[in-house]
Structure 1
Amino acid sequence: MNEEVIPILRVADAAAAVAWYEQLGFAAQWEHRSEPGLPAFVEVARGTLRLFLSEHEGDARPDTLVYLRVRDLDAIADAFGVQIEHADWGREIELRDPDGNRLRVGAPPA
């Protein structure tokens, strides 16, 4: 088993959040509900990148910032219609999911 960190992001509607993260290349891995109608807890993954999306209050705070380093930054920027910013450490964009969580998506310098 590889050790890893998996950020948990608070979402109001897990199905809507999963659909939004699919635009970033993530795919739902599994969903858990203690009982039908109770809040969902979902894992989405994109290669080795994983995020937990939780409808449970108290699992995470809104407006969280997560940094994702990816190989296809240009394609993601095009898909979301945003301009890539250039910095000494690399190139990056910032996105907000439907729940206001911030994603800084970056790549090393070209």
Structure 2
Amino acid sequence: MNLGPVTPILRIFDEEKAHEFYVGFLGFQVDWQHRFDENAPLYQQVSRDGCILHLSGHFGDACPGSAVRIETAGVTDFQTALLAKCYKHARPGLEKTDWGTLEVRLTDPFGNRLTFFENVPG
């Protein structure tokens, strides 16, 4: 048996806010979008480098307030770039943890928590 990568599904409630946060602020790109019809909620894939996330407006696909950890090489540079964007809803800090990581913690507009982390030698 060989397990593959995990793709988290995060619940969204507003497509414009999701785009502003994930694409505009975090720098992800939209890979594809799907709707069953013009009145159906959006389901989409966004990615940046090796990170893939699914964002869903469908009731029952995911629970608002989920948490994901995303391993990030160069997390300090990532945090600096985010601060330079002057996004009005987040000013992420950089924290060194007791368990040997540097972390940038963010909450999206829907309560989902994203932790971008890098292991640091100790």
Q: Please give the residue correspondences for 1:90-105 in structure 2 after superposition, counting only pairs within 5 Å.
A: 90-105=101-116
Greater displacement, 88-97 / 11-20:
11-20
Max Rg structure? 2
Deviation beyond 6 Å, 4+ runs, structure 1 = none
Q: Please give the residue correspondences for 1:27-106 in structure 2 after superposition, counting only pairs within 5 Å.
A: 27-78=29-80, 79-80=82-83, 81-87=91-97, 88-106=99-117
The alpha carbon displacement at 1:51 in A equals 0.4
Q: Is the 2:93–2:105 Cα contact (8 Å) retained in structure 1?
A: no
Gaps of 5+ in 1: none
The alpha carbon displacement at 1:4 in A equals 1.7
The alpha carbon displacement at 1:48 in A equals 1.5
Instruction: Give distance in 2, aligned partners of 1:70 and 1:9.
Output: 19
Q: Name 1:24's counterpart in structure 2.
A: 26
Q: Name 2:16's counterpart in structure 1.
A: 15
Letter matched to residue 19 of structure 2 = V
CA deviation map 1:61-92 (0-9, x unaligned):
01100001112312332314322111232100
Gaps of 5+ in 2: 84-90
Q: Name 2:88's counterpart in structure 1.
A: none
| TM-score w.r.t. length of structure 1 | 0.89
| TM-score w.r.t. length of structure 2 | 0.81
Letter matched to residue 86 of structure 1 = K
Q: Could you tell me the percent identity over the aligned residues?
A: 32
Q: How many pairs were matched up?
A: 109
Instruction: Give distance in 2, aligned partners of 1:43 and 1:105.
Output: 18
User: What's the secondary structure of 2:26's corresponding residue?
Assistant: coil
